[in-house]
Chain A
């Protein structure tokens, strides 16, 4: 089993739909992250959770709503998205107290908003 698992791998949704992305890490880490990867742009940090508490919200629109019920699971709830939100959404985890900055990424969920 891979360290960080993301589902679904691909998602197509309309602008009025509500969907969720799921991330699960099997590494025993205590920090989890959502990143957005759009074509020709740097990876953008969206949210950071440490010990289930949100410690970073990088000015993300409210149509993206994260949830971290425990240190192993992270969700990104999506509603009334725009076509420009189409991107690869990457989840990552790390062991924060080691302060190495080494992130372990999942394979991403590719989102297309019609």
Chain B
């Protein structure tokens, strides 16, 4: 069965601190996708990244970076020099490569960035 675990329920940091959000997944599929979504207070989830299971290269996008490690079934998300606007709930998700209709989400990590 597929499962996504985000053990950190809430994280609080002060602006400019770096913060890492953990994501551990379980799947028996050999090909799959991993995702991160951001849910700001307005409610809508916003897509941040998709990673194919074949591609273990780390990705950097501005202040955001992602560390995918198949050996530990983890797909962690780091925000460098956090800002107040980063305050949101962040969800990690998993899907089969052939069935992206069914995203399996974690319970989310609430990040609060204080000025």
Contacts and interface: CB of A to CB of B under 8 A. Distances in A.
Contact of B103 (A40, A88, A103, A107): A103
Interface string B86-115: 000001000100001111111110000000
Given A101-B50, A101-B95, A45 B103 contact: yes
Contacts of B106: 42
Contact of B43 (A31, A40, A43, A88): A88
A106 B4 CA distance: 23
Contact of A56 (B44, B46, B47, B101): B101
B100 A43 contact: no
A20 B75 CA distance: 38
Main secondary structure, interface of B, reads strand
Interface size class of B (residues with CB under 8 A): 20 to 34
B22 to A, nearest CB: 15
Contact of A90 (B45, B50, B101): B45
A102 B50 contact: yes
B4 A45 contact: no
A108 interface: yes
15 contacts: A40-B107, A43-B45, A55-B101, A56-B101, A88-B43, A100-B50, A101-B35, A101-B95, A101-B100, A103-B47, A104-B47, A105-B37, A105-B44, A105-B46, A106-B43
Interface of A: 2, 4, 31, 33, 40-43, 45, 48, 50, 55-56, 88, 90, 92, 94, 96, 99-108
